[in-house]
Structure 1
Amino acid sequence: MKEMPVVIRRIVFWLVLCVSPLFAVAASSEKPVYLYRSTLTSQFIKPGDVTQEDTLAVWRNYLRKFRKDFHIVDRAQLLARLTPGVLVLPSTHALDDAERAAIRDFAAAGGSLLATGATGSLDATGKFIGYDFLDTYFKVRVRGDYKAGSEWFMMPFGDGPLTWSLPAGRRIYVGDDLRGILRIESDNLAAVLMNWMRAKDDAGPNGAIALHESATNRSVFFAFPEAALGYHAPAEVSQLLDSVMAWLRREPKLFKAAWPEGFVAAHLMEMDTEDKFFSAPNFADHLEKIGVKGTFYCLTSEAIKYPAIVKDLLARGHEIAYHADIHFGFKGEDPAIQDKRMRNMKKQMQTILGNSLNLATGFRAPTEAYDAITEGLLRKHGILHHAADPSSHEDRLPFFSSAEPGLGPEEALVVLPRTQFDDVNFKRFGYGVAQVQETLDYDLDLVVKGGAFGLLSVHTQNYVDGGLMKDSMGKYVEKVATYKDRLWIARGDQIASWWRKRHRV
């Protein structure tokens, strides 16, 4: 039999590793799934709030796929000791002492738990008694709730035991009615709640889904009520619940990891190399300090003034790519004008790189302004990938351009979305060095935790002596270095090449 290419073997090996999601996987077995109907909770639902029957209906519609293994149980059945399986507690706010004891015994016997919202926060009289129940069985710490005033999205962590079926960082809208959504901390999160921009939320922790495994059982907690799942595509919600239930039922699952060589996340640090072009080596020095390379998207009308710098960066192992000919966006321009500009930028780059021009296969549009025509023309001019804006995709992962629907992944442009705040944002926010460093650190931590793709963009004009990014990036790259055993730090062309290879598996 013909030997598999090295990259394919590596992916397959990682697939095998990923059968064990977070902890050791026990042998698979058919186990009952119980949906708990709490008559006690029904007594304390306020007029106008979602009824328990409506809440149960959400779970009935999903859990019926388990057929003979699915059972709706009441208090008497719970107290009579259920055979270990999975017990779903859907926004079961009120629990009496006997119910709590029965749940304790169920978990101790090996039963898994799935709870949502403020489960266990009320006693038998409807009195609020805190969230000790959640801390005990799910190891989550509640730090308040969310206030109105912003749209919120749940963003799953990629390649995780509960959320492997969804792409890392996908924006899953949870509505603007934030009642019942708790702010939680946990040592093991599978998703977080964020605004559209994925900005740091200073109001408190933002955990959305947490998981815990003890010596006897597994448990999963959703920090939101069932209604929050009603805004997103039902098929994807079902995929999420499928992977959650598989973990709770200890069913091994095979999935394709996002990144090579066992890395959990990937990072591209790139420079928009334009005004103050001479500062580009400062950025290269920062990267090389930790032994990594980056991508320099060059404005060719500036690059031709500094050919020695461009050649030196290439010789040092960095990627040289295009940032157009002049600093003006492409979006909405006549196709003929766009084509002419691309020919011009290639001609200018040719005068610098000569026979090495074929190494320049990346592009980043000035002001992130491009359209489908731009993407189609880029491919025809030999460009293989381009760095795009944060709104280009809902995921924090590379993707294939859909500008030319007839093309498959081998031919289509690979798009690398900018997933982190950049120095343009920082200048607009009026940030100083300390705020920039705090934001950079937060973004990086989230990239690694979330199994995502991080693209950090900096600009030459902010990398001169005394520039905002030159004064901030030294500490940032030191932090990046602490993740090097988990974070794949690569150039744009390397990430694009990997994304195509990954698709072949």
Structure 2
Amino acid sequence: GFFPDPRYHSDLNERWGALLVGIGAGIHHVHGAAALDSLAGDGLLVVAAAVCLDDDERDAIRRHVDRGGHLIATWALGARDAECEWDGYRLLKDVTDADAAGTLEGLPPTYLTVPYGAVFSAGLPPGLRVELKTEPWITVLSGSSGVFWTDWALNPLSAPGGGAAGAAIARTTKSGARIVWFGWRMDVAATERDRRLLERVAQNSALWASGHIVVDVSPWPDGRRSAMSVTQDAEHSFRNSRRLAERFSTMDVPVTFFVVTQLAAEYPELADVLSAAGEVATHSVDHRQVAGRLWSGQLAGLRQARIDVQGWAGVAPVGFRPPREVFDEYTLEAWRRSGGRYLAGSNYARTAAPEIFDTPAGPLVVLPRVVDDDYAVMVTRGETSPDSLRATFLGSLEKVRWLGGLDLLTVHTQLIDSYSRVDAVESAVRAAQAAGDVWIAQASDVADWWLQRSGLELQVRERVDRSAVLTISNRGDEEVGSAWLQVFLPDERETYAAPELGEQIVDSEYGPGGLRVRLPVLAPGESIEILLPRRAA
């Protein structure tokens, strides 16, 4: 075999067997072309890291797919012959319909990222990053890719021949075969967290490939694909905040201002201007790093910052951006205990979506910035022209729309010091408005939505006729409105009738990812059942 350990494949198959049994599947093992040809036409074949295959076995896999049999394959499927000599990626390209396939010889560490919108992403935060042990991985160029090889900052690597380096594919063939392929193996997660995430991706894929629907709550209100919050750190050159506030007030686009309170006190005339433009949050009392201080010092400093903003703007802030965007466990608890609800800071690109941290004082939302701010452009890179800012902000918007996450557009008063630079910020907001699938909101609204969404609980059960009953419960403390479900369908849309809630037809629409269903407003503790009927064959 290809792997030095003679038990490697049996161990890998046991891992897959446990995963399949966990989703309710019955399994049996097959070996050789004759056994593959004897499989039922609608059976699911799992071929895990089968690198060395003879010609008969490869052809049997092709015949299985051609007659409508379903397939999950991983890594370098059939890339070597029966003697384990190199033969190429023909079989892989045939079953995935990829335009190109190749080996990714990346430098350590190795990351894959799961954008929102494909079946792989159900139940996971948009733009989730997973770290793998560094080995040669397989990549494809395909329009059916739903997971991608990326760098640490969630930027896609290049596939052979250009384009984004696909790391996983989910597609349905003309014969009705559901095909899933992963460019990695299941035993290569870098940490326990990464192992759990890979297993969730595999479970989603196995459910779908087995013919079951997979359901998720869409990440943003009204089914929007991504979100944007315009934020400014009001620190040095504090009075420059007026430019952004007045411009975006005329556009009816809210801005969140994180103010250094010692500096804000010198400009009482700007309190109403910034408040009218959106939200006033805090950037600490004196712009000194908070993380790393003793608990008592952090708590005292954050309480003082909150008191200062309330005295200056008339409303106590709920948001805090720590200097340098770094924080620790004390910071999270101290801000929550002080009355805060969210923190804007670095999550080291773990995900492009907000994260909820459970502190001893209650839950706190962290809004991550996974795109470059004006400091990175103008100071770190030395590109000071408004055109450079505009290009960066527009590129960041497209990146976050691709990921399905949050574009925390961040600028500073000492850098956005002219109307031409304000124009650069405006260009990104105008582009988000034109895209039509971006929710533009102040930071506190984003944090509140993410907490409300986290209270929704989903359960799916199938009836004898394979119609699906979706139970949605609000386990949170607040009502949830504007939520949508994303339903990943294993069969053609004609297979299903319109979703029903009691006697009513539920508002829904079909799109590239499957079926989207609008939920009614759910009060705390309320549960509803939506039926997704299957038409008679």
Relative contact order: is structure 1 or structure 2 higher (C-alpha 8 Å, sep ≥ 6)? 1
| TM surpasses 0.5 | yes
Q: Does the 8 Å contact 2:89/2:102 carry over to 1?
A: no
Indicate the larger mover: 84-93 or 233-242. 233-242
Q: Does 1:207 align with 2:159?
A: no
Residue 363 of structure 1: aligned partner: 320
Aligned-partner residue type, residue 149 of structure 2: L
Aligned-partner residue type, residue 145 of structure 1: T
Residue 397 of structure 2: aligned partner: 444
SS for the counterpart of 2:119 is: coil
Q: Does the 8 Å contact 1:140/1:184 carry over to 2?
A: yes
Instruction: Measure, in 2, the Cα distance between the counterparts of 1:225 and 1:401.
Output: 31
Instruction: Measure, in 2, the Cα distance between the counterparts of 1:289 and 1:374.
Output: 35
Q: Does 1:184 align with 2:140?
A: yes
Instruction: Measure, in 1, the Cα distance between the counterparts of 2:275 and 2:241.
Output: 12
Q: Hey, which of these two has a bigger chunk of strand by percent? A: 2
Aligned-partner residue type, residue 270 of structure 1: T
Instruction: Measure, in 2, the Cα distance between the counterparts of 1:335 and 1:80.
Output: 66
Q: Does the 8 Å contact 2:122/2:214 carry over to 1?
A: no
Aligned-partner residue type, residue 250 of structure 1: G
With structure 2 as the length reference, what TM-score do the two structures score? 0.73
Aligned-partner residue type, residue 409 of structure 2: L
1:139-198, CA deviations, whole angstroms, 9 ceiling, x for partnerless residues? 33436433343312222234632221323233322112x22x123222233222233333
Q: Does the 8 Å contact 1:150/1:195 carry over to 2?
A: no
Instruction: Measure, in 2, the Cα distance between the counterparts of 1:173 and 1:343.
Output: 37
SS for the counterpart of 2:223 is: coil
Which of 435, 440, 443 aligns to 1:489? It is: 440
Residue 372 of structure 2: aligned partner: 421
Residue 260 of structure 1: aligned partner: 221
Instruction: Measure, in 2, the Cα distance between the counterparts of 1:171 and 1:131.
Output: 26
Residue 98 of structure 2: aligned partner: 140
- Give runs of aligned pairs for residues 11-50 of structure 1, distance below 5 A: 42=1, 45=2
Check 1:174–1:488 CA distance in 2 against 1; reply closer, same or farther (3 A cut). Answer: same
Residue 28 of structure 1: aligned partner: none
Check 1:336–1:186 CA distance in 2 against 1; reply closer, same or farther (3 A cut). Answer: same
Q: Does 1:223 align with 2:183?
A: yes
Aligned-partner residue type, residue 152 of structure 1: T
Instruction: Measure, in 1, the Cα distance between the counterparts of 2:245 and 2:127.
Output: 29
Residue 330 of structure 1: aligned partner: 290
Check 1:201–1:430 CA distance in 2 against 1; reply closer, same or farther (3 A cut). Answer: farther
Q: Does 1:304 align with 2:265?
A: yes
Aligned-partner residue type, residue 414 of structure 2: Q
SS for the counterpart of 2:372 is: coil
Q: How many residues of Structure 1 are paired with residues of Structure 2 in the alignment?
A: 448
Residue 479 of structure 2: aligned partner: none
Residue 314 of structure 1: aligned partner: 275
Indicate the larger mover: 428-437 or 253-262. 428-437
1:195-240, CA deviations, whole angstroms, 9 ceiling, x for partnerless residues? 3333454686332222112332221111223443474444443322
Q: Give how far 1:127 is off.
A: 5.9
1:350-396, CA deviations, whole angstroms, 9 ceiling, x for partnerless residues? 4532xx324x32111122243333333323433222212223x8333
Which of 242, 252, 269 aligns to 2:203? It is: 242
SS for the counterpart of 1:390 is: coil
Instruction: Measure, in 2, the Cα distance between the counterparts of 1:440 and 1:418.
Output: 13
1:307-345, CA deviations, whole angstroms, 9 ceiling, x for partnerless residues? 3333123223x1111111211121233445444434543
Instruction: Measure, in 2, the Cα distance between the counterparts of 1:328 and 1:366.
Output: 6
- Give runs of aligned pairs for residues 381-420 of structure 1, distance below 5 A: 381-391=338-348, 394-404=350-360, 407=361, 411-420=362-371
Which of 301, 309, 312 aligns to 1:352? It is: 312
Indicate the larger mover: 74-83 or 485-494. 74-83
Check 1:90–1:471 CA distance in 2 against 1; reply closer, same or farther (3 A cut). Answer: same
Instruction: Measure, in 2, the Cα distance between the counterparts of 1:129 and 1:289.
Output: 63
Question: What 5-or-longer segments of structure 2 have no aligned partner?
Answer: 456-473, 475-537
Check 1:363–1:220 CA distance in 2 against 1; reply closer, same or farther (3 A cut). Answer: same
Aligned-partner residue type, residue 152 of structure 2: W
Q: Give how far 1:494 is off.
A: 0.6
Instruction: Measure, in 1, the Cα distance between the counterparts of 2:6 and 2:240.
Output: 59
Which of 84, 89, 109 aligns to 2:67? It is: 109
Instruction: Measure, in 2, the Cα distance between the counterparts of 1:346 and 1:127.
Output: 67
Which of 29, 32, 42 aligns to 1:74? It is: 32
SS for the counterpart of 1:173 is: strand
Check 1:308–1:264 CA distance in 2 against 1; reply closer, same or farther (3 A cut). Answer: same
Check 1:272–1:252 CA distance in 2 against 1; reply closer, same or farther (3 A cut). Answer: same
Instruction: Measure, in 1, the Cα distance between the counterparts of 2:307 and 2:153.
Output: 37
Indicate the larger mover: 181-190 or 486-495. 181-190
Q: Does the 8 Å contact 1:368/1:388 carry over to 2?
A: yes
Check 1:50–1:479 CA distance in 2 against 1; reply closer, same or farther (3 A cut). Answer: farther
Q: Does the 8 Å contact 2:49/2:77 carry over to 1?
A: yes
Residue 407 of structure 2: aligned partner: 454
Question: What 5-or-longer segments of structure 1 have no aligned partner?
Answer: 1-41
Q: Does the 8 Å contact 2:230/2:256 carry over to 1?
A: yes
Residue 151 of structure 1: aligned partner: 109
Q: Give how far 1:268 is off.
A: 2.0
Q: Does the 8 Å contact 2:100/2:141 carry over to 1?
A: yes
With structure 1 as the length reference, what TM-score do the two structures score? 0.77
Q: Does 1:379 align with 2:330?
A: no
Aligned-partner residue type, residue 223 of structure 1: G
Q: Hey, which of these two has a bigger chunk of helix by percent? A: 1
SS for the counterpart of 1:154 is: strand
Q: Give how far 1:243 is off.
A: 0.9
Q: Does the 8 Å contact 1:138/1:221 carry over to 2?
A: yes
SS for the counterpart of 1:110 is: coil
Aligned-partner residue type, residue 225 of structure 2: V
Q: Does the 8 Å contact 1:266/1:490 carry over to 2?
A: yes
Q: Give how far 1:242 is off.
A: 1.4
SS for the counterpart of 1:370 is: coil
